Structure 1
Amino acid sequence: MNKVIFRPIHDNKKKHIDLLLLADEQEDMIDRYLEHGDMWMLEDNGLKATCVVTDEGNGTLEIKNLAVVPEHQRQGYGKAMVEFIAKQYNSHTKLRVGTGDSPLTMPFYHSCGFTETCRIKDFFTDNYDHTIIEAGVILKDMVVMERQINME
């Protein structure tokens, strides 16, 4: 990583729908949180990642969408975004994410300090209009994971 810049996106968030769809592959599901969430871009000689977070109340912030441009995945940009969000919203106490039980996403969130708190049974099969397969795994339940905001 060279000169990483985090930039808020306030207008025309849907301009980045192709990137958002990498993390949440159904547009009407993205529409449920995009406009009321805070959207951030990570730039490092061009766009590398995006993240949408929402304030869930009681000191809890939720990552609704975290996507890294495919050719820049596994280079630290996703983790940098999580750490930026934790620092940017340090008045909150907890950071939550809901994800599929995928061999790609679970190890990533564990490496960022998240631990599983619960599962929402059949979330993906009940809320998406198609089967979601990631790394050969059919996603059914949502895994809810949390970490403390300040992990120093």
Structure 2
Amino acid sequence: MVIRQIYSHKKAYLDLLLLGDEQEDMIDRYLDQGELFVLETNGTAAAECVVTQVGGGIYEIKNIAVSPPYQRRGFGRALVDFLIRHYPDCTALWVGTGESPATLDFYHALGFREFRRVKDFFLQNYDHPILEGGVQLKDMVYLKREGPASS
């Protein structure tokens, strides 16, 4: 397993990016300003994440996804752990996500806690209903995890 940063031709990973955010124009809003990291195993891109800097040592995961054949193997956790190490000035790592129980459970297991909601975000910003795990996403739930520089 190798994690590497992608500096150019980020759209080459669109198939993976669309797993984490299924509307391309939404991805376009953050992809160029974000840092893209790809986790490869046996030469195959198995997972990705896009991170932006909010400021003051706060970083936000804008997109994270693991290709279905590689899910439930710890690759999502490996990416989050990598980010915490990659940004030594990180005071907090944020992520905004929908109210899917499986997704929230994933982040809670990694030490993330809810700190804010944006009501009806998915209803107002996507051109079609977003369903995840049989749940229609409505509110954006923001979670945070303290970073190494928070002490």
TM-score category, normalised to shorter length: over 0.9
| Alpha-carbon shift at residue 104 of structure 1 (Å) | 1.8
Question: Could you say which residue in structure 2 is the equivalent of 1:91?
Answer: 89
Q: Report the Cα distance in structure 1 between the residues aligned to 2:53 and 2:19, rounded to whole angstroms.
A: 22
- 1:81 and 2:92 are equivalent in the alignment: no
Spell out, residue by residue over 1:11-43, the C-alpha distance to the aligned partner (whole angstroms, 9 max, x if none): 100011111000101000000000010000111
The one-letter amino acid of 1:52's match is: V
Q: Report the Cα distance in structure 2 between the residues aligned to 1:13 and 1:47, rounded to whole angstroms.
A: 12
The one-letter amino acid of 2:9's match is: N
Q: Report the Cα distance in structure 2 between the residues aligned to 1:17 and 1:107, rounded to whole angstroms.
A: 26
* Match 1:128 to one of 115, 126, 129: 126
Q: Give the alignment of 1:1-150 within 5 angstroms.
A: 4-45=1-42, 46-150=44-148
Q: Report the Cα distance in structure 2 between the residues aligned to 1:99 and 1:90, rounded to whole angstroms.
A: 24
Q: Report the Cα distance in structure 2 between the residues aligned to 1:103 and 1:72, rounded to whole angstroms.
A: 20
How many residue pairs end up in the alignment? 148
SS at 1:104's partner residue? helix
Q: Report the Cα distance in structure 1 between the residues aligned to 2:147 and 2:113, rounded to whole angstroms.
A: 13
Q: Report the Cα distance in structure 1 between the residues aligned to 2:34 and 2:53, rounded to whole angstroms.
A: 8
Q: Report the Cα distance in structure 1 between the residues aligned to 2:39 and 2:58, rounded to whole angstroms.
A: 22
Structure 1 alignment gaps of length 5 or more? none
Post-superposition, which runs of at least 4 consecutive aligned residues in structure 1 deviate over 4 A? none
Structure 2 alignment gaps of length 5 or more? none
| Alpha-carbon shift at residue 149 of structure 1 (Å) | 1.5
